[in-house]
Amino acid sequence: MTTETITTISPSTNWPVTSRQGISDADIALIPATATRAFNSYRTTSLEERHTTVGKALDIIEQRKDVLAKELTEQMGRPIAYTGKEISTAVARGQYLLKISGECLQDAPGEAETGFKRYIRKYPIGPVLIVFAWNYPYLILVNALIPALLAGNSVIIKPSPQTPTIAEQIQNIFLEAGLSKDVIQYFHCGSMSRLEAVVKVPQIRLICFTGSVAGGLAVQKAAANRVVPVALELGGKDPAYVREDVDVKWAAEEIVDGAVFNSGQSCCSLERVYVDEKIHDQFVSAVQGVLNGYKLGDPMDQSTNVGPVVSKKSLDTISQHVQDAIKKGAVDATPKNESFENPPADGNYVKPTLLINVTHDMEVMNEETFGPVIPVMKVGNDEEALRMMNDSEFGLTASIWTKDVERGEALAELVDAGTCFVNRCDYPSPDLAWTGWKDSGKGVTLSKFGFEQFVKLKSFHLKDHPK
């Protein structure tokens, strides 16, 4: 097969910004074989050595934050005012995983019994394939890369075609930090068939995929003929419920941020908002007031807080969801905002859009929009809100907004989602398990549980010899 050329198109201009060659047939076999050789050497290093290397690499990433942030804005379109924060957050997340790794990777003792010694030891699983998305590439990559390396595995990373240089930067930084050659490798790939071919290579012992449901299912299917674990972090249609007792202005500010930040391009952004009917009109008015203060525009402008969406295809999907809703009775209640009406001409700009009178027969309340759209639906009480929140194939995060935190916690118990917030949203905390329910995925990253998929267990059962 001819090697594919992968071109990254700027979301801001729709002009090419970089080009890379895709993985060759020869590399599909060579890269995993090289990773196996690197693993066999790297696995013998001590956790202390790995700590030192990873810590140095995280320091270098932070030092180069401005360069990496500019590159990220150019490739995926998030405003430059915010991309640096992703780098710093990724470093802080990595440092937390460093801090807890000793405890997470130590032996687990069995029950004490005279004459016996029993324990469970954790061993690195082998070469790990990490396939990560473009929307938060450093954060997503850190979730798997850091525990994989600390556990003693070699790693093969495949970046999104939208953000190809992240893999190159990470490999170079870790080499500079002292990591042995080939412990981190990467390849570029634009077609699912090429990725499926890599997934099928037997030397790969774990697959970590972050992306769409369709992509995750394709990877899982490609791996089905092998006994190999597949961790999937997929999409979301994350709901928020605003109870009548809430501080409406404050909740509106938080919820708009949770829905519009990064142009709504997050698996855990708010995509459905249910509001108690008694405060619905007040909440809508407050959201309009918040949106009046937003600026849609060139992401290289420090004053811009909403940039373009990633592609023309994404723009078309968002527009389709909005038009479907309006055709079925929804109302576009977005306030007048000069920047919304006059965005830059050449990029994939979508105004933050407030929809009211939405129902569950609309695409915008069922399918992943992945854009800056805030659909608001009235509910009569807590029970109706819970029923609506759980009426989805997705289950990544959900949030409840209320002054009664105890009641919010009780409601969160009944929500079908891997993370439930009360009075917060859109924040994967590193000390908590990041995991999806239903079609949002399987497997865990972050927290002490985020190390488990990167190790295999061996039980030791020793009995004293008779005297």
CATH of the domain at 108: 3.40.605.10
Q: Are residues 244 and 200 in the same domain?
A: no
**CB of 400 within 8 A of CB of 421?**
yes
Q: Are residues 230 and 255 in the same domain?
A: no
Q: Are residues 37 and 156 in the same domain?
A: yes
Structural domain contains residue 213: yes
User: What range defines the domain where residue 401 resides?
Assistant: 238-422
Structural domain contains residue 428: no
Structural domain contains residue 407: yes
Structural domain contains residue 431: no
Predicted local confidence at residue 3, as pLDDT: 82
Q: Are residues 353 and 386 in the same domain?
A: yes
Q: Are residues 167 and 269 in the same domain?
A: no
> Please, which residues have CB within 8 angstroms of residue 260's CB and are 6 or more apart in sequence?
294, 306, 352, 372, 374
Structural domain contains residue 143: yes
Q: Are residues 199 and 252 in the same domain?
A: no
Predicted local confidence at residue 273, as pLDDT: 99
Alpha-carbon distance 39 to 269, whole Å? Answer: 37
Q: Are residues 373 and 449 in the same domain?
A: no
Question: pLDDT tens for residues 210-222?
Answer: 999 999 999 999 9
Q: Tell me, what CATH number does 393's domain have?
A: 3.40.309.10
Q: Are residues 327 and 341 in the same domain?
A: yes
Which listed residue (267, 268, 420, 425) is catalytic? 267
Q: Are residues 446 and 328 in the same domain?
A: no
Structural domain contains residue 429: no
Q: Are residues 246 and 337 in the same domain?
A: yes
Q: Are residues 188 and 253 in the same domain?
A: no
Hey, how many other C-beta atoms are within 10 angstroms of the C-beta on 47? 14
Alpha-carbon distance 157 to 173, whole Å? Answer: 14
pLDDT tens digit at each of 467 positions of the chain: 568 999 999 999 999 999 999 999 999 999 999 999 999 999 999 999 999 999 999 999 999 999 999 999 999 999 999 999 999 999 999 999 999 999 999 999 999 999 999 999 999 999 999 999 999 999 999 999 999 999 999 999 999 999 999 999 999 999 999 999 999 999 999 999 999 999 999 999 999 999 999 999 999 999 999 999 999 999 999 999 999 999 999 999 999 999 999 999 999 999 999 999 999 999 999 999 999 999 999 999 999 999 999 999 999 999 999 999 999 999 999 999 999 999 999 999 999 999 999 999 999 999 999 999 999 999 999 999 999 999 999 999 999 999 999 999 999 999 999 999 999 999 999 999 999 999 999 999 999 999 999 999 999 999 999 98
Structural domain contains residue 467: no
Which listed residue (71, 74, 86, 233) is catalytic? 233
Q: Does 233 qualify as catalytic in the annotation?
A: yes
Q: Are residues 200 and 263 in the same domain?
A: no
Structural domain contains residue 427: no
Number of folded domains in the chain? Answer: 2
Angular region, 430: left φ>0, alpha ψ -120 to 50, beta rest: alpha
Question: pLDDT tens for residues 227-240?
Answer: 999 999 999 999 99
First to last CA, the chain: 67
Taking Cα atoms as reference points, which of 387, 430, 423 lies closest to residue 93? 430
